[in-house]
Amino acid sequence: MSLLTLDNVTIRFGGLTAVDTVNLEVKQGEILALIGPNGAGKSTVFNLITSIYQPTEGKISLDGKALTGIPTHKIADMGITRTFQTIRLFPELSVLDNVKIGAHCRGKAGLFHAFTRLPSMKQEEAEMEENAIKALEFLDLAAKREDMAKNLSYGEQRRLEIARALVSKPKILLLDEPAAGMNPQEKVVLMEMIRRIRDTGITIFLVEHDMKLVMGISERIAVLDYGKLIAKGTPLEVRSNKAVIEAYLGSGEFKSRIRR
Amino acid sequence: MKKLLDNWLVQFLLFLCVLGLTAFITDAIGDVLPPYLLMIGLFIGINLIMALGLNLITGVTGQLSLGHAAFMSIGAYASAIATVNYHVPFLGGVLIGGLVACLFGIVIGFPTLRLTGDYLAIATLGFAEIVRVQFTNMKITNGAIGFLGIQGSTTFPIVMTIAVITLVLMVWLENSRNGRAMLAIREDEIASSAVGINTTLYKIQAFAIGAFCAGVGGALFAHTTTFIQPTDFGFMKSVDILSIVVLGGLGSIPGTIIGAIVLTAAPEILRPLANYRMMVYGVLLVIIMIFRPYGLLGGVNLRQAVRRAFMLTKKKQAGREE
Ligand SMILES: Nc1ncnc2c1ncn2[C@@H]1O[C@H](COP(=O)(O)OP(=O)(O)OP(=O)(O)O)[C@@H](O)[C@H]1O
Ligand SMILES: [Mg+2]
């Protein structure tokens, strides 16, 4: 069953067509990877899904509900959260606060509650804190909860971003190069974590350059090149796809290519 | 004991006790302190109320505003008109001052808060100038001559009680869902909207509350000096309030308190230096910013420090028990 659907999605920046008539379905409960050379338009696809950009043409929908035209801040509440290729935490806030803010869309308290601190607000706060700590435990960060986010190591920061995206219990989690900058051990741990997140019922859509990770955890892979989707299929199918090899793989090896 | 303190009613009564105590103590202090020192104390309180408002806008939400004095003037004139022309009681006038300033904060917030950084700073600066010129040309404000005959109703206990209320509400706000959203906006706007924060809404909330504080401060100011004119609320006034927030440490409530005390008292303490006063004051500011570039208490999170210390002792205890 398709959870997230991209229907003929195109976006142009001036003369550049960054994403070109892409048709893609993300199925409920799967781990789908989007790969492609640098500048292929992968992050742009995520920015389109989260309404940071609006498609020039085409439609995006979640569970049959159109996402096009909906402001970014309503996307999280609909069940889509994400991480960023360049880490975007709240650096001067504590790890715990970072994750609590991630649960913003699940809270209801407003100014009135802030100023009166009625029991209902206290309860919401307590629940929020409990969920935040659970998310931190899930990503093995609970011991660091009082640290400032900017003082975490690079790998920890990447995991914190995932915890922040996870705490609102999204339907689908978008991960933009989650392994970038991690060492091999951290990558192994990350793979395991991504699998465990999926096992809680959250669909995973990730962009990643690390082929070992991509081949290791994805059930399906989509390949983007110059904004066009050139292949879709299981890791095995994609690995042996002619167009992919021609456009992207070089001599059987996955190589990054800088777009001219 | 801890359970009892968690009870809402107990907390509310405690809050009232603190307010009563503040009023009582400040009243007693007012009886013994010489009027000159009392006046300084009163201005510390007024500046604190306004600076706490600006701290929410600039320190917590990260929106640089150079027009805080405009909201102060709106509060000052609105309350003065209310009490003098319409015989509204003093505290009612203060409330009106705050509300009118708040209204302007919201109205101005909608178009300007799309801007960020320097552009927002310039827009707020422009707004403040427009307000000032407007007050200079209006009949009801008596133009450039100034508004005379306001009752000197502001007292030290009233100012301090309002300051304590503001202080407590600000601490509560910062530790709420709304406050965290505002902090998030300061840290990263794109990440904020990705987690579902309506950045415009929370910026306007911060602006409205900040403007309300400035308006209340302005109203208290008007009813202290009994005479106000547009030049009281020029660009330099905005800079004065901003200096308190920056010197104390952007986003730090204890810092804002220290900033308000130091920067209100300093020019008075330096008064014997006569003509060199403002120069020394400026040098002092520069020196503080060299040694504490993030402000006196910038980067010091008291609550976190306490929590951390608490966790450490707990760990140690656990270690001993093993
Ligand atoms: N806001 C924008 N304005 C103009 N061009 C843009 C914009 N955003 C992206 N692009 C362009 O769109 C193309 C695709 O960029 P995108 O960041 O999606 O690539 P990517 O596949 O994520 O690459 P990488 O692997 O390097 O992260 C690039 O040529 C980029 O310069
Ligand atoms: Mg990218």
The pTM of this model reads 0.90
Q: Exposed, middle or buried: residue B101 (CB in 10 Å: 0-12, 13-18, 19+)?
A: buried
Number of alpha helices (DSSP H) and beta strands (DSSP E) in chain A: 10, 10
Pairing relation of β-strands A57-62 and A2-13?
A: antiparallel
CB-CB: which of A111, A119, A125 is closest to B205?
A111
Which tokens hold the place of A110? 């407003």
A215, A31 contact by CB (below 8 A): no
Q: Is residue B37 part of a domain?
A: no
B198/A52 CB distance under 8 A: no
Residues B218 and B77 in one domain: yes
Write down the pLDDT at residue B140: 87
Q: How far apart are CA B150 and CA B147, in angstroms?
A: 8
Contact A166, A202 (CB under 8 A): yes
Q: pLDDT value at position A252?
A: 41
* Per-residue pLDDT at B9: 83
Do residue A117 and residue B11 have CB atoms under 8 angstroms apart? yes
pLDDT in tens, A49-61: 999 999 999 999 9
Q: Hey, are the CB atoms on A164 and B195 less than 8 Å from each other?
A: yes
Give residue A172's pLDDT band: very low, low, confident or very high (50, 70, 90): very high
In this structure, is residue B38 part of a structural domain? Answer: no
According to the model, what pLDDT value does residue A166 have? 96
| Residue A207 in this model has a pLDDT that exceeds 60 | yes
* Partner-chain residue, chosen from B8, B176, B199, that has the shortest CB–CB distance to A73: B199
Mean pLDDT by 10 residues, chain B (322 residues): 72 86 86 88 96 95 93 97 95 97 93 82 91 90 88 93 95 94 95 95 95 98 95 92 90 92 87 78 80 74 67 64 50
Euclidean distance between CA atoms B259 and B261, whole angstroms: 5
Residue A255's pLDDT is 44
> The tokens 């405690």 sit on which residue?
B14
Angle at A100 between CA B58 and CA A183, to 5 degrees: 100
Nearest to A46 by CA among A9, A74, A101: A9
- Ligand 1 near A85 CB (within 6 A): yes
What does the block give as tokens for A237? 């199918």
- Same domain, residue pair B118 and B60: yes
- A209 closest CA partner among A36, A18, A30, A40: A36
Judgement on whether residues B92 and B211 belong to the same structural domain of the protein: yes
List strands edge to edge, sheet with A31-35.
Answer: A80-82, A172-176, A203-207, A31-35, A220-225, A228-233
A129 contacts chain B (CB < 8 A): no
Are B306 and B189 in a shared domain? yes
Tell me which residue of A94, A84, A99, A36 sits closest to A227, measured CA to CA.
A36
| In-domain check, residue B244 | yes
Region A90-100 average pLDDT = 95
Domain-embedded: residue B89: yes
pLDDT for the residue A65: 92
Q: Residue A29, class by beta-carbon neighbours within 10 Å (0-12 exposed, 13-18 middle, 19+ buried)?
A: middle
B305 found inside a domain: yes
Q: What is the pLDDT of residue A260?
A: 30
Element containing residue A6 per DSSP (H, E): strand A2-13
Strand partners, A12: A17
- Please give the pLDDT value at position B302: 66
Binding site membership of A41 for ligand 1 (Cβ less than 6 Å):
yes
More confident residue, A257 or B287: B287
Residues B7, B87: one domain? no
| Neighboring chain A residues of B197 at a CB cutoff of 8 Å | 73, 101, 104
Same domain, B238 and B107: yes
CB contacts < 8 Å between A and B, how many?
109
- For chain A, report the end-to-end CA distance as a whole number of angstroms: 38
Which chain B residue shows the shortest CA-CA distance from A110?
B178
pLDDT of res. A193: 94
User: ∠ at Cα B254 (B248, B258), nearest 5°?
Assistant: 50
Do B8 and B131 have their domain in common?
Answer: no
Q: Would residue B100 count as lying in a domain?
A: yes
CA-nearest residue for atom 30, ligand 1, is: A39
On whether residue B205 sits in a domain, the answer given is: yes
Which residue in this structure is represented by tokens 């992207």?
A248
Q: Is A27 exposed, middle or buried (0-12, 13-18, 19+ CB in 10 A)?
A: middle
| B259 and B114 within one domain | yes
A90 touches chain B (CB under 8 A): yes
Using a 6 Å cutoff on CB, does residue A170 contact ligand 1?
no
Mean per-residue pLDDT for A246-251?
60
Distance A41 CA to ligand 1 centre (A): 5
Decide: A17 in ligand 1 pocket, CB within 6 A. Answer: no
pLDDT of residue A131: 95
- Whether residue B188 is found in the same domain as residue B52: yes
- Which pLDDT belongs to residue B279? 81
Contact B212/B101 with Cβ under 8 angstroms?
yes
Place of tokens 């929410």: B56
Residues B16, B92, single domain; the answer is no
The residue range of the domain holding B27 is 1-32
Q: Atom 31 of ligand 1 has which residue's CA nearest to it?
A: A39
HEC secondary structure over B159-195? HHHHHHHHHHHHHHHHCCHHHHHHHHHHHCHHHHHHC
User: Are B93 and B222 in a shared domain?
Assistant: yes
Name the token pair of A201: 């019922």
How many Cα atoms within 13 Å fall on the side-chain side of residue B125? 12
* Domain presence at residue B237: yes
Mapped onto helix, strand or coil, the DSSP state of residue B1 is coil
Residue A250 has pLDDT above 60, yes or no: no
Q: Which ligand is nearest to the CA of A84?
A: 2
- Is the model more confident about A110 or about A172? A172
DSSP state of A249: I
The β-bridge partners of A174 are A82, A205
Q: Do residues B196 and B249 share a domain?
A: yes
Q: What percent of chain A has pLDDT over 90?
A: 76
DSSP A247: I
Q: Kindly tell me if the per-residue pLDDT of A259 is higher than 70.
A: no
DSSP label at A8?
Answer: E
CATH number of the domain enclosing B149: 1.10.3470
Domain count, chain B: 2
Helices assigned H by DSSP within chain A: 42-49, 72-78, 95-102, 111-116, 119-138, 154-166, 184-199, 211-217, 235-239, 242-244
